[in-house]
Amino acid sequence: MPCPCQSPQADLDADVGRKVYVAHGTLGKGVSPVCQRDGAGCRGSDEARMTIHPVKDMPTLTVEETDDLCRIVPAGAWTIHESAAMEAQLAELKLPDGVRPVIDFSQITTLDTAGAWLLHRFRGDLDYRGVRVDLENLRPSHRVLLGEVEKHHPPPWKPERRPASLVRILETTGREVVEIGNDVRSVLHIVGSLVSVLSGVFLRPRSLRLPSIANQFDRTCIGAVPIILMMSFLIGAIISQQGGFYLRQFGAEVYVVDLAGVLVLRELGVILTAIMVAGRSGSAFTAEIGSMKMREEIDALHVIGLRVTEVLILPRLLALILAMPVLTFLSNIAALFGAGLVSWFYLDMAPRVFLDLMQVAVTIDTLMVGLVKAPFMALIIGLVASVEGMKVGGSAESLGKHTTLSVVKAIFMVIVVDGLFAIFFSSIGI
């Protein structure tokens, strides 16, 4: 908005020998507080000041200077809503040397803690430099508010600094290593207490908690059947299609049966099932135990005299150990069915032929190699899930973090252990 009087300061200087500065900042919003009247030029600072408050309650700051007095007049609503503008105006304010500053509160329409704090901080800064600032026209409510702000003065502000990145990397690495050590310890702790609970089962069969195991079995096994069947069927079909496509170039498509049979029964069935179970049940275990930890339910179990291992972990682990072989077996069947179907339609191999070739290609040992691994995988998934669940802290974020970690660690460990089994079986010649 163009200013009607080209040089208000010069006019004022000539008129009354007082200067009016306006701290610019919010003035772009509309009306210039100094020269918004008749356009005939500003006639004096008193009049100029009177026109300040009609500005739509935006916070503004004007400075009037007489010989030895510097009157700082905040006006409008000094509230948190325009705090950025208020802070900028106060920061831009340059006070001439050798004058006594006064803050005049008469033009403030609303003052809240943010406004009061900014004015108080401004005053404190000047005070620190040895300039005493007086306050004028304080309303009682302003005085109470300023008093409150002064009483609860926050400490000097320091921007947060982060340590150099190399140090941070080293620190994180170190912490991770210690964390791995702690993990191993807690796994051993849980295994130990499991053994002690299980040995107690012989003396007190009731501590086995069969209903709880049945309930967990229902959730981890029965609930997982459809998705595992579906996934394994598709994987089996894909293996046989891909294998068939390449083997057919050499006229060796009959070996698709060996490929699919051995691969699925020895490795894929159990691995796929373990991955699915880790994602489905392992994450659920962690989240259940973790949220119980968060809400002090674990502590409640402790003080009632129940053992967390016995009540929460053992039923889940046992249910998982029972469920994994069942699921693995179902996964094997589904995958072979998928492979057979593709062989029939894609490779024109009659089901009868497929079955005959399968009987030659695999033995009962091939199936057992896969199934034997299943309970171990279950143990790994269950232990990792329990350990991560017990590590959950007080926040929603840590629950999410440990649930993720549980799944990631479980799948990683499953693959590592599968590799160890492969070495073991090949060295004993199966």
Q: Which residues bind other proteins (CB under 8 A)?
A: 79-81, 83-84, 87, 112-114, 117-118, 120-121, 123-125, 127-128, 132-133, 135, 140-141, 143-157, 159, 294, 393-398
Closest approach of other proteins to the CB of residue 344, in Å: 54
**Residue 239 to residue 258: CA distance in whole angstroms:** 11
What secondary structure letter does DSSP report for 265? I
The encoded tokens of residue 109 equal 């329409």
47: number of Cβ within 10 Å: 11
Q: Which is nearer to other proteins, 38 or 148 (CB)?
A: 148
Closest approach of other proteins to the CB of residue 160, in Å: 9
Nearest-Å Rg of the Cα atoms of the chain is: 39
Q: Which is nearer to other proteins, 66 or 113 (CB)?
A: 113
**Residue 368 to residue 372: CA distance in whole angstroms:** 6
Residue in the block written with tokens 């275990």: 285
405: number of Cβ within 10 Å: 17
Closest approach of other proteins to the CB of residue 31, in Å: 22
Closest approach of other proteins to the CB of residue 105, in Å: 12
Asked if residues 34 and 50 have their Cβ atoms less than 8 Å apart, the reply is: no
Q: Which is nearer to other proteins, 154 or 305 (CB)?
A: 154
Asked if residues 345 and 303 have their Cβ atoms less than 8 Å apart, the reply is: no
Closest approach of other proteins to the CB of residue 78, in Å: 11
Helix (H, G, I), strand (E, B) or coil at 25: coil
Helix (H, G, I), strand (E, B) or coil at 100: strand
Distance from the first to the final alpha carbon of the chain: 90
- β-strand pairing of 100-104 with 134-136: parallel
Q: Which is nearer to other proteins, 15 or 125 (CB)?
A: 125
Q: Which is nearer to other proteins, 149 or 407 (CB)?
A: 149
What stretch of H or E contains 70?
A: strand 69-78
Residue in the block written with tokens 């005049």: 104
Closest approach of other proteins to the CB of residue 83, in Å: 5
Q: Which is nearer to other proteins, 215 or 398 (CB)?
A: 398
Q: Which is nearer to other proteins, 27 or 264 (CB)?
A: 27
Closest approach of other proteins to the CB of residue 165, in Å: 21
